[in-house]
Amino acid sequence: MQTEKQDGIRMPPRVSILAHAVRLAAGGLSVSAALGMLGSGALAQEQGPDGGAAPSKLQRVEITGSAIKRLESETALPVQIITRADIEKAGVTTAAELMARVSANVGGLTDGASINVGGDQRGFNSANLRGVGTSSTLVLLNGRRMANFASPGDDAGVDLNNIPAAALQRVEVLLDGASALYGTDAIGGVINFITRKDYQGVELNAYGSGTQEGGAGKRTASITAGTGDLAADGYNIFAVVDLQKTDRLTSSQRKFIPNLQVPERLGHLLSGYTSPANIILSDEQFDVLKGFPLNGRPISKGTINTGAPGCNPPANLHLPNGTGGIDACTYDYMGDTELYPKSDKQNFLTRGVLKLNSDHQLYAEVALSRSRTYYVGSSARVKAYIDASRIPQLAGSGLFTAIDEDGKPIDTELELRIRLNEGGMRTSELTSESQRIVVGATGTAAGWDYDIGINHSVNTVRDRDTHGYLLYKELKKGIADGLINPFGPSGVEGKALIDSLQVNDEVRHARGTMDALDFKVSRALIALGGGDMALAVGGEVRRERTNFRPSELLMSDNINNDDAPEGGKPTSDSRNVQAIYSELLLPFTRQWQAQLSGRYDHYQQVGGALSPKIGLTYMPSKQVLLRASAGKGFRAPSMSELHRPTVYSSTATLPDPVYCASIDYDYTRCAQNWDTRRYSNDKLKPERSRQFTAGVVLEPSQHWTFSADYWNIKRTDLISEIGDDIILGNLTKYGDLVHRNDDNEIDYIELRKENRGAQKASGIDITADLHGVKTAWGRFGGHLSGTYVLDSKIQTSPGDTFVSNLNKFVTDGVVQRWRHTITLDWDDGPYSASLSNTYSSGYDDQNSAINTDDGSVVKPNRVKAYTLWDMSGAYAVSKQFKLRAGIQNLFNTSPPYSNQAFFFLSGYDPTYTDPRGRRFYASASYTFR
């Protein structure tokens, strides 16, 4: 028989839920135990008179564990609960898609935003509560940690691809800094993914979706099987297998891409690597060739192309205001680039519980996952050199007889910027694998409830160049020797050479391991006016290890478009972490209760700190609950921030004030994409934080629940790099970070992790629930979850002014003023339907990109609000068989136009928008009794 139990807990009558939940908390529950034990196994059960499970004395899980959404608003800490039914109605199949619907999640990493050739931490999907950073959002699976995404980079966090979405029973989002309970990386909040427990039966699920314009189709299938009734049989074991495939989506498949008018609006963000190749003239060469007629036009700029103005469309365009300028060509990579990668995901989770007796249980959990993402970029960009004598169009130009001011012949070697279409599209394969094994025991001993567990978790990332990446030295020689034609089709010998230079190599291999032992115990102490005072104590020891191994080929720095890190070499780092925490709950009266907690964490090399917290609740009536909390925290630097290999990158198009001042601020000559080198820092100190919340929960009737919670976070000793735009804008203070060559030109800009400045963020979370409204036309319900941000700003360094990214794109992203998700539900017998809306407010764009051809700054833009509507309907054919169909992005809304120049994709912001357009999906589930 298929059943899904709620851990043997009897639900209280509806009319007194709010009061009852608070009394339960006051009667013995600490928040640390309530939240920390959610996924750690079944609670200790006493045997009832009928031999079945009787309710435990401390019904902890009721505070946040119930499927009734109202319960998350009844603790001192604001918690949002997403149920399995919510996930099914939304038609999402991955944890990343689910988190995109959480209004407090701002700027998390996504597949769309990671589209880039050689991009950092590609394939990493993450959450970012409050917009304070992926590294400050703690993701748990069944109440325990997972190994972070292993690939070194700016962000440390769990890859959401490793969450077995088909196994989820609910997701609890703790919207409060919880360093005092969970550890240093919970400043922004905690997301606890909770899987099914005590499952019996077999369930088959199939899902398929397709887009109206093609591309990005998805197929999923899962099977869930479980046997054994924990109460009756003394054991339960279940397993879930989830398989998913997603097709790639290219810009040529979407009508909204040409409607963005990127070549006309943002031509300066497109590429100067073209086919036929652009020629970059030195200053001396330009002085000689200026005015020389090329294809009937006098040369007027330092970049020329023998194919201009024809330029081999449609990919290569003649854009006078584009990167190539009036005498050359510009490559429109947005005409046929990838918007959404192809991916394959496999997840397996199994969990078993063995009841030793009425007081003790053993449990074990194994989770295995593999996510493979295939990135396809434009064809190779090649910088090469040939002698001018190989270009017949320059014959008679005087270049070959010209001399410089010292009487020496002008160098006739020309720099080429080539788009090597014959090399094929640059293709990479990114594989993220995770293994997690947890074994433990839970129960009651000597009046104490206990839970102890061992957690072994591994994440492995393999990054492979599979096609379109070529051996650079041999490629450059083939161009110089004339075998490979940079201006047109190559001959048979040249094409054979290109084929022989293709790279198929696992260029980066990263592995992260976490081994942990944790425990927690709790019990009621003395009776107070509102119930029993309760105490919980817990601790954890864990060892974190990371290994990064670049391939020998990568380190030879001979892969075109995949540079070797400076001083790169295999790295292996590890550290030990110890923590102990305690929670004391004080129910002074039936109206007042206090929760005091504190946690001490110690990180090897970094040091330790105490994170205290206090929470208060006051319930003047059954319809009103007031709550508040305040605490401190700290975030230890990640091992990537401490030991990451140097990364080569480049800035957006920015002016060099020194050079600009010498040429009367002619941006056509003194603004460009400057090279950067990004360094880790093994001397980093922890970030410090303080946060507080204050809110109210109202239950004016049995059908309505409303909550509003103010939150405020401040971080100091912020671990960050100074933005390259800020460095160049304040050379008096940061000039030592700009490294120049002998000609006083910028060689590279140093971006180094430091403890700098501070960050402030505050806002209001609002939720509203309408539930159980019965009418002659069926039962209706609705839910609103929204976040109104009051403040979001960063201080780069002590003494600097705070720079706000609230409703304004700054450096690398924006925090919108208002985001919400609204869902309206209806059901009547076997039929049900759902309509939902997600919304992000408009904001001021990144209006700073410079057109180096004419020296202008991009036309200011305000990004429009973004709103999507989804609709689904379901029919229960029988108790065993259920069908659902839906439409996502009902009105086929396209991402709004954006000037942003931070991400590889141009014309829109890929961090929060969805380029897939209108999608149709259907799913079926069948349960065997």
Q: What is the DSSP string of 646-664?
A: PEEEEEEEEE-HHHHHHTT
Opening angle at CA 230, ends 228 and 236, nearest 5: 45
What is the reported pLDDT for 14? 32
| Chain center to CA of 451 | 32
Cα–Cα distance for residue pair 266/220, rounded to 1 Å: 38
Residue for token digits 């309710």? 55
Question: Which of helix, strand or coil describes residue 56?
Answer: coil
Structure tokens at 302: 């330092």
Give the residue from 133, 70, 79 showing the smallest Cα distance to 772: 70
The pLDDT score that the predictor gives to residue 489 is: 93
- With beta carbons less than 8 A apart as the criterion, state whether 512 and 149 touch: yes
Q: Which residues contact 927 (CB under 8 A, 6 or more apart)?
A: 2, 201, 202, 203, 204, 879, 880, 881
The count of other CB atoms within 10 Å of the CB of residue 84 is 17
Asked whether 522 and 59 are in contact (CB, 8 A), the reply is no
C-alpha distances out from residue 567 to 463, 547, 553, 560, 644, Å: 20, 16, 14, 18, 11
> In the chain, which residues have pLDDT < 50?
1-73
- Would you state the pLDDT for residue 385? 94
- The reported pLDDT for the residue numbered 852 is 54
Q: How far is CA 271 from CA 318, 469, 811, 856, in A?
A: 12, 18, 21, 18
Dig out the tokens for 552 from the structure: 């020998």
Q: What does the alpha-carbon distance between residue 93 and residue 160 come to, in Å, rounded to a whole number?
A: 12
For residues 348 and 366, give the distance between their C-alpha atoms in angstroms, rounded to a whole number: 8
And the tokens for 866? 């973004």
Q: What is the pLDDT of residue 368?
A: 95
Element containing residue 34 per DSSP (H, E): helix 31-36
User: Around Cβ 265, how many Cβ atoms within 10 Å?
Assistant: 17
Q: Where are the beta strands (DSSP E) in 301-412?
A: 303-304, 316-317, 330-331, 338-340, 342-355, 360-387
How much of the chain is helix, strand and coil, in % rounded to 5?
A: 15, 50, 35
Closest CA to 470 of 503, 431, 504, 512: 503
Task: Determine the 3-state secondary structure of 530 from DSSP.
Answer: coil
Q: CA nearest 32: which of 526, 598, 488?
A: 598
Cβ atoms within 10 Å, residue 861: 17
Q: What are phi and psi of 46, to 5 degrees?
A: -95, 155
The reply to whether omega before 276 is within 30° of 0 (cis) is yes
pLDDT of residue 124: 82
196, 4 contact by CB (below 8 A): yes
Exposure string of 827-859, with b = 16+ CB inside 10 Å and e = fewer, is eeeeebbbbbebbbbebbbbbbbbbbbebebbe
Q: Which residues lie closer than 8 Å to 667 by C-beta, 6 or more apart?
A: 655, 660, 850, 851, 852, 855, 856
What is residue 926's predicted lDDT score, i.e. its pLDDT?
Answer: 96
**Which long-range contacts (C-beta less than 8 Å, at least 24 apart) are formed by 606-612?**
606/575, 606/636, 606/637, 606/684, 606/685, 606/686, 607/685, 607/686, 609/184, 609/634, 609/686, 609/688, 611/179, 611/180, 611/184, 612/180
Q: Is 781 left (phi over 0), alpha (psi -120 to 50) or beta?
A: beta
Q: Which residues contact 515 (CB under 8 A, 6 or more apart)?
A: 454, 455, 456, 457, 542, 543
Instruction: State how far Cα 637 lies from the chain centre.
Output: 18
C-alpha 345/C-alpha 94 separation (Å) is 10
DSSP classification of residue 271: B
The residues pairing with 683 across neighbouring beta strands, listed in sequence order, are none
